[in-house]
Structures are given as C-alpha cells and as structure tokens.
Amino acid sequence: MKHVTVLYFAAIRDLAGAASESLTLPDQVLTVHDFVNHLGEHLPALKPALSAVRIARNEAFVTLAEPIATGDVLAIIPPVQGG
C-alpha cells in the first residue's frame, strides 16, 4: 500500500469538503490514471469533475501514465477560468 497526500484546490476543494487529506492507496493503484479512478470511488462527488482536472505530483504537472509512489503529494487542480 502507498501513502500519499492529496491537495484539493478551488471548486474541487469545495466538492471534497477539505483542502487536503492523507490517503492509503490499494496496491493496484500504480499510476496517476489509477489514482484518479480510485479518487472518484473514494469521493463520488468528485467523479464528474475529474475528467477536466490537472494533476500535479510533487509540484510538477504529470500525465496519467506517471507512476505513483509512497510519499507523493498529489494536487487536484481544476481548469482556470478568467481573462
């Protein structure tokens, strides 16, 4: 099992009901893609919004294929709007 910290920003924070949390991920969560799927099951209110977010791992934006490791900090960042 992997232990990670998840940071929620803007509207995602409102849906999650917290700014951050520590999660223990099942062994089958190996990539960012797996993590996003797990997060949608863990917090069903987030599921509809997860297709539009960006994920940062340890302060760098990553692709869905990136691996997840114990100690990672994963930030869930919704699209930025404005002009």
Taking 70 as the threshold, does the pLDDT of residue 3 lie above it? yes
| Among 16, 22, 33, residue whose Cα is nearest residue 68 | 33
Separation in Å, CA 30 to CA 17, 26, 54, 75: 25, 9, 18, 17
| pLDDT over 60 (residue 83) | no
Side-chain-facing half-sphere of 39: CA atoms under 13 Å: 29
- Residue 82, pLDDT score: 59
Question: Would 34 be classed as within a structural domain?
Answer: yes
CATH number of 66's domain = 3.10.20.30
**Residue 48 falls inside a structural domain:** yes
User: Over the stretch 28-78, which tens digit does the pLDDT of each residue have?
Assistant: 999 999 999 999 999 999 999 999 999 999 999 999 999 999 999 999 999
Domain presence at residue 80: no
Instruction: Tell me, yes or no, whether 81 lies in a domain.
Output: no
Q: How many domains does the chain have?
A: 1
* pTM exceeds 0.85 for this model: yes
Q: Which residues constitute the domain of residue 46?
A: 2-73
Return the closest-CA partner of residue 46 out of 82, 74, 83: 74
Query: Would you say residue 82 lies in a domain?
Result: no
Instruction: Taking the CA atoms of 49, 47, 12 and 65 in sequence, report the sign of the dihedral they define.
Output: negative
What band does 80 get if pLDDT is binned at 50, 70 and 90? confident
